[in-house]
A and B are shown apart, each in its own frame.
Chain A
């Protein structure tokens, strides 16, 4: 018994030493673990990349949450058939052509073939809407279409239909770099998001940056902290056993630090989404990603 305890203590010490080293050579570690060069990544998985100078963020390297997951989870995402997120993508494809509302229209009635008209759209969301004078996330844009053009009821943020449609549309941009506008009218929203990102909240008095900027690559108890990039959303989370939106993830994070979460679709979360998207600008869309 004593011997095992000693080994355990030693290995714990070793783990601690290892951890302190990770942040310096994280990029190399990640690449070595995957056995991958940048061009050897499976289809639709974002490369480790040096942060473009235009992004507002202090990290030198940015990478997708994919690199922080276990081999088993990665394998689920690598194969489009095994990836359960595709169940939603397929449902979204059906919904695209399903008529709804008083106008008797479907998405297809206006936008035709999604594969052509929606390619790249998901990579640019949230996007400034000149008419409403505010940025709209993909979810909000879809609901605007539904209420204004289709005469249909809004979908709830976390409903199966909304998740399916956002997953379907974002999936059409898979492999394309995130490209959110951050200047012009979007500037105040980026600033607002940045402020939220760095503000400590909750009983644990933590901000987003405490985990995802200062300590990514390390473990917080059993959680392997990622950089908190948004390129894989909506994401199939094994914990949720279903697809979930980015705002649901935000809510989860806020609960973890014992804070009162903002509402999905609130201006605060929209601003945070915008700030995050521009932080990860250039990362390729992986929707639907698989995470644990």
Chain B
């Protein structure tokens, strides 16, 4: 798949004190940098998502440094205690400098 497309599944509503589960998936080739092009013999340059961050109201709640051994289309699932309403921001950083992001709102009652 040519362009990376993030998908996020986060609850829109929660009660105060609830543990909410957040799931994220992004399409990405996660090229390790160890494979060779079969025809030319040249190494295919590494291109992975090297960092994933999840923020809530600007504060980091979850982050991962990714390495080449991680499969294509990385999936993350994590949880958070819902204390107040606010906005999630999910950020994926690509080796080529591109940054993919997605936002999602949570209303706590």
Contact = CB atoms under 8 A, between A and B. Distances in A.
A88 interface: yes
Interface stretch (B44-52, B61-69, B70-78, B83-91): B70-78
B16 interface: no
A87 B9 contact: no
A242 interface: yes
A81 B72 contact: no
Interface-centre pick from B1, B5, B72, B73 (highest chain A CB count, 10 A): B1
Interface of B: 1-2, 5, 7, 9, 23, 25, 27, 29-30, 71-73, 75
Contacts of B25: 81-82, 84, 87
Nearest to A83: B25
Contacts of B2: 160
Contacts of B5: 87, 90-91
Contacts of A86: 7
Given A82-B75, A86-B7, 20 more contacts: A81-B9, A81-B23, A81-B25, A84-B25, A84-B27, A84-B72, A84-B73, A84-B75, A87-B1, A87-B7, A87-B73, A88-B1, A90-B5, A91-B5, A241-B30, A241-B71, A241-B73, A242-B1, A242-B72, A242-B73
A238 interface: yes
Contacts of A241: 29-30, 71-73
Interface in A38-82: 81-82
